[in-house]
């Protein structure tokens, strides 16, 4: 397996963290997880997006930067693979949806300064699920502040992700997770592991789950 830094991305409720845990166990990899629960603005944002979107996104960017910056300074002798359940560019994609234009331009200028200082992943795994499946997963994990997320919001996030991947030449495994069950079906995880054994050129590569 030639990929030492693997990033998993997808919409809210796509199964990023679940897959990250399973792959890290398989590869004995160092695991970097989004510290979403530590963001004090998250519940407030869902109650009042206009007021709390900017501090929400600033907090997320600072925390993600702090986590990923450590990858540059620390090397684990016993774990040659690192798996993260987010891409740093996620900051910019969510900010594009959540912030008004003037705040987004300011946010983007800060992002551009920080982004160039970080290690970029060798490959991106993007989990794509229809909004209906995302809503089922969101209800199932039962975080109170997420229970009233509108379909339109999830659709906007989805479109922003797919446009970004389409427009940038990122080495991406694009996986349709409409019927995925990574916890209950070992074949689904194995399909991802088998895909990671191959070498890919930059661009999107569509992986089907059995």
Among residues 85, 122, 194, 199, the one annotated as catalytic is: 85
Known catalytic membership, residue 85: yes
CA geometry: angle 84, 85, 86, nearest 5 deg:
90
Active site positions, annotated: 85
């Amino acid at each position: 397996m030639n990929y030492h830094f693997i990033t998993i991305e997808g919409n809210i409720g796509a199964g990023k963290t679940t897959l990250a845990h399973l792959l890290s166990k398989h590869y004995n990899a160092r695991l970097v997880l989004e510290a979403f629960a530590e963001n004090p603005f998250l519940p407030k944002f869902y109650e009042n997006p206009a007021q709390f979107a900017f501090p929400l996104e600033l907090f997320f960017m600072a925390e993600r930067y702090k986590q990923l910056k450590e990858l540059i300074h620390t090397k684990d002798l016993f774990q040659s693979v690192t798996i993260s359940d987010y891409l740093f560019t996620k900051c910019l994609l969510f900010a594009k949806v959540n912030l008004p234009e003037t705040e987004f331009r300011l946010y983007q200028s800060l992002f551009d300064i920080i982004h160039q200082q970080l290690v970029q992943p060798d490959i991106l795994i993007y989990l794509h699920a229809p909004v209906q499946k995302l809503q089922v997963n969101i209800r199932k994990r039962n975080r109170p502040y997420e229970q009233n997320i509108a379909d339109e919001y999830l659709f906007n996030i989805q479109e922003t992700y797919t446009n970004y991947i389409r427009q940038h030449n990122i080495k991406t495994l694009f996986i349709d997770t409409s019927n995925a069950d990574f916890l209950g079906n070992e074949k689904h995880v194995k399909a991802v592991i088998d895909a990671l054994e191959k070498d890919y050129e930059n661009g999107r590569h569509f992986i089907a789950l059995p």
